[in-house]
Amino acid sequence: MTNEKKLELIEETFDVEPGTLAPETELESIEEWGSLTKLSLIVMLDDECGKTINNDIIRSLKTVQDIMDLMEQ
């Protein structure tokens, strides 16, 4: 999956305008980074990447790049 596609999926999950997020964007700086978005992220990673993640992994995420790295594995 290309980085562009990953960013597109993450922006869709966060329900933010295309082009809003960059790999270095800190998650805590994103208004939409709340409990509902975290649940949506879990579903997206499962649907799109077949990856199951737990709350410990969610808590360890700091930047958009961290999510993109998860999508790679």
How far apart, in whole angstroms, are the C-alpha atoms of residue 49 and residue 70?
A: 9
Q: Which is nearer to another protein, 34 or 60 (CB)?
A: 34
Contacts with another protein by CB under 8 A: the residue count is 4
- Per CB under 8 A, the list member of 1, 22, 36, 43 interacting with another protein is 36
22 binds another protein (CB under 8 A): no
* CB 20 to another protein: min, Å: 11
**Alpha-carbon distances of 42 from 18, 19, 37, 66, rounded to whole Å:** 20, 22, 9, 14
Q: State the helix-helix crossing angle for 64-72 and 3-14, rounded to 10 degrees.
A: 120
Interface ranges with another protein (CB under 8 A): 15-17, 36
